[in-house]
Structure 1
Amino acid sequence: MFAHLTAAEEALVPDVDDPELLREVSVDFYLDGRSKVEIAKERGLSRFQVARMLNTARDLGIVRIEISTPAHLDNSTGSALAQALGVREVIVSSGGSSTSPRDALARAVARTLVDRAKPQMTIGVSWSRTIELAAAHIEHLPPCDVVQLVGAQPVEGSGNSLEMIQRFKSLPGVRTWPIWAPLVVQDEATAAGLRAQPQIARALERADQLDIAVVAVGGWSSESSTVYSNVSRSDIADAAAAGAVGECSGRLFDDAGRLVPTPLDGRIVGVGLDQLRRTPEVIISAHGAAAARAVRAAVRGGIGSTLVLDPAAAGALTEILRAESAAVSVD
């Protein structure tokens, strides 16, 4: 091929089978994003030689190409949980090393809501640290109504539902129905007076017409519920005595997903569990293993058609279902 070249010139011709050159060309193409034409011009090769070298590098194992399902789509655990629970879908979030578990969960919640939202829907949004993060990841929704489902619950290091509803209001084509009140107030009379305020009353009435709701479910503990840490010891004792295992939008429920009647319930300004049960699609977000028992109870109580869980919540829920299955087998 190079018979017309002098010995000195031939010594300068690249050895297209040299493993080191194959590696360098592969780095240029696959990692640095350079075109075959650019590589050929710089290294004194033809474009066809570069193409052959890239093929050779793959054949020799210098280049190994791996195609895998993105982590947030690899949902075999979710599929098994959905089948066992009898819900529409269970999505288990996953992120890279640079993403916190809560942020990965929030991104999954945001994707799920955007995927399910359709024009002219009425969408209810509760508040939690995860849902607040999810709202920040939503850049567009179809023209729709977004209803705030609970009053504000300030938490150190986070915003609250009032700030979050303003985020939705900034999206083109979205009309919001805010609740300008705290989630938990001092007494039942104050709560009743706030719920009767025209703007708040309209928002809570609108919650009877939801197409989709996005809510958080947590275990009734300081680890899993932001409400738990913002009520009195008397409220906590009353809830424990009544059998509370979980909390959703300030409402407490037992292992069967039934509302737990305590004085706290009368002081909540927010959506009721019955309103959520009547909603065709309820997306539940749950973070951490401590939320798993509450998620199981919520599903038993008819709250939740789609679950978005972080790996810790999904793992703990899997263990709960295994224990239930083993108990049935023994019986």
Structure 2
Amino acid sequence: MSSKKRAVGPAEAVTAASIAHRFYIRGHSKLEIAGEFGISRFKVARILDTARETGLVRVEFELPVPVDLALSDELRSAYGLDRALVLERAASQGDRPEVRRRIGKLAAQLLTEIVTTGDVIGLSWARSVNVMTEEIQQLAHCPVVQLCGVQAGMDMRDRSVETVRRVASVSGGDAYPIYGPLVLPDRRTTEILRNQPGIAETFGRFRDLTKAVVSIGAWRPGESTVYDALDETERAAIAARGAQGEIAARLFDADGNALSTGLAHHVLAISTEDLQRIPEVIALGYSAPKAEAIDAVLRSGTVSTLITDTNAAEPLLTLAAKHTP
């Protein structure tokens, strides 16, 4: 089949251009154009179709952010998300810190756009979430709640308490930090700390959350907020239970089922039930090695918005297709 465009004579081209200009630029309806040219509105529609087919009219999208529109839409549809934002291919290249910076910046732009004064925002610490908070320049006045305790080994500026305070200072809302470590030695210590007045106040705000920003981790070294804080025996035991993905210190298996493990009793973090009640959960997850973890978390139904890169989006579409009945 020939791919050549049909030749258009000058008279036909001028008529089509005049009609297209009225429709696309001046905003006239097909009915109005039909009356002006003395033809039917069906013929106007055919002329507009021909104008696009012959290249007389070209439709272009110039997004103000580096997002791959087609991949974003495919991913949103494949997982039934409210929203998916996939960094375009060029922006997905480079070393991990640079891709993380771009993911964080995109998340900051989204949060600035969608947060209102009626919201209560929850933040779980992660490097990408931390970058996001540094990129936020303005935000509607609202409370900001810490979802998890402090991860050991972090510089003070990078700790979740400071992350929450930075966002609250931009919005002008109250900050609800958790002054306690993420992972604790046993259940009794965890319960004692949860009942401390400041921490109990923060936990009491979990039921009010309307939006949350979390990072998706994989159950392996360097890819999870809690994996490296546990001893090898506990890591292996949790892996044997099928842990695949993690958000806010809560684990999910490959089918998206929330895992009940001993870990739940010695972390200072929002519960899976409270997390899944939040109307809008924005998850940051990127890079090809994390694709299976991202797939697991998305299949849980906890996440409504995913921000990712093409390196993860492409294998995610393959994984989603495998699960399609």
State the TM-score bracket (shorter-chain normalisation). 0.7 to 0.9
- Per the normalisation by structure 1, the TM-score is 0.73
Give distance in 2, aligned partners of 1:187 and 1:248: 21
Q: 1:67 to 1:310 in 2, by over 3 A?
A: closer
Give distance in 1, aligned partners of 2:299 and 2:61: 39
1:80 maps to 2:74: yes
1:104 maps to 2:98: no
Secondary structure of 1:291's counterpart equals helix
Deviations 1:155-180 (A, max 9, x none): 55781201211212322522111111
Q: 1:176 to 1:68 in 2, by over 3 A?
A: same
Shift in Å, 1:81:
0.7
Q: 1:269 to 1:155 in 2, by over 3 A?
A: same
Deviations 1:168-215 (A, max 9, x none): 232252211111111111111111111111111111121111110111
Amino acid at match of 1:170: S
Shift in Å, 1:123:
0.7
Give distance in 2, aligned partners of 1:154 and 1:138: 25
Give distance in 2, aligned partners of 1:273 and 1:291: 21
Q: 1:112 to 1:200 in 2, by over 3 A?
A: same
Shift in Å, 1:85:
0.7
1:161-200 pair list within 5 angstroms: 161-200=160-199
Q: 1:139 to 1:252 in 2, by over 3 A?
A: same
Shift in Å, 1:67:
8.5
Secondary structure of 1:245's counterpart equals strand
Q: 1:71 to 1:234 in 2, by over 3 A?
A: same
Structure 2 unpaired stretches of 5+: 1-59
- Per the normalisation by structure 2, the TM-score is 0.75
Q: State whether residues 124 and 213 of structure 2, in contact with CA within 8 Å, keep that contact through their aligned partners in structure 1.
A: yes
1:1-331 pair list within 5 angstroms: 68-70=62-64, 72-94=66-88, 95=91, 100-155=98-153, 159-325=158-324, 328=325
Shift in Å, 1:286:
0.5
Q: State whether residues 219 and 244 of structure 2, in contact with CA within 8 Å, keep that contact through their aligned partners in structure 1.
A: yes
Secondary structure of 1:72's counterpart equals coil
Give distance in 2, aligned partners of 1:155 and 1:68: 42
Q: 1:279 to 1:300 in 2, by over 3 A?
A: same
Structure of larger gyration radius: 1
Secondary structure of 2:170's counterpart equals coil
Q: State whether residues 92 and 309 of structure 2, in contact with CA within 8 Å, keep that contact through their aligned partners in structure 1.
A: no
Give distance in 2, aligned partners of 1:72 and 1:249: 27
Greater shift after overlay, 144-153 or 162-171?
162-171
**Superposition CA RMSD, Å:** 2.2
Q: State whether residues 92 and 310 of structure 2, in contact with CA within 8 Å, keep that contact through their aligned partners in structure 1.
A: no
Greater shift after overlay, 316-325 or 160-169?
316-325
Give distance in 2, aligned partners of 1:208 and 1:171: 23
Deviations 1:202-239 (A, max 9, x none): 11121111110111111111142132122111111111
Amino acid at match of 2:168: K
Shift in Å, 1:266:
0.7
Secondary structure of 1:136's counterpart equals helix
Q: 1:131 to 1:155 in 2, by over 3 A?
A: farther
Give distance in 1, aligned partners of 2:77 and 2:211: 21
Secondary structure of 1:163's counterpart equals helix
Equivalent pairs: percent with the same residue? 33
Q: 1:150 to 1:156 in 2, by over 3 A?
A: closer
Give distance in 1, aligned partners of 2:173 and 2:293: 32
